[in-house]
Amino acid sequence: MIQNGNAMTVITDGVQEMSECPKCGGTDIAMILWGFPPDSEFLKEEVKKKKIVLGGCIVSKNDPELECNDCGWRY
C-alpha cells in the first residue's frame, strides 16, 4: 500500500500563480495586501494602478489573496 502525499502540495502551489479570474475570466487581477500598510510611495502607486488592494489590518487565516478588478471577485 502506497499513499501519495504530494498531490495536495502541487495543487496549493498553483494558487499563487493564478492570473485569471475564475468568475469572469478577466486578467486584471490585484493582489490584496493584509496587515499594516507601510507608508511608501511605491505602494501608493501600486494601489493607484489597482495592482494592490489594501484589505485591512485584521488578518485571519482564510483571507483572500487576489481580487479581480473587473467583477470584484476575491479568492
Which chain residues interact with Zn ion by CB under 5 A?
A: 21, 23-24, 26, 68, 70-71, 73
Q: Are the C-beta atoms of residues 51 and 30 closer than 8 Å to each other?
A: yes
When the beta carbons of 27 and 45 are compared against Zn ion, the nearer one is 27
Rg (CA), the chain: 15
When the beta carbons of 33 and 74 are compared against Zn ion, the nearer one is 74
Percent helix, percent strand, percent coil in the chain, to nearest 5? 25, 20, 55
**To the nearest whole angstrom, how small is the minimum distance from the Cβ of residue 13 to Zn ion?**
23
When the beta carbons of 31 and 59 are compared against Zn ion, the nearer one is 31
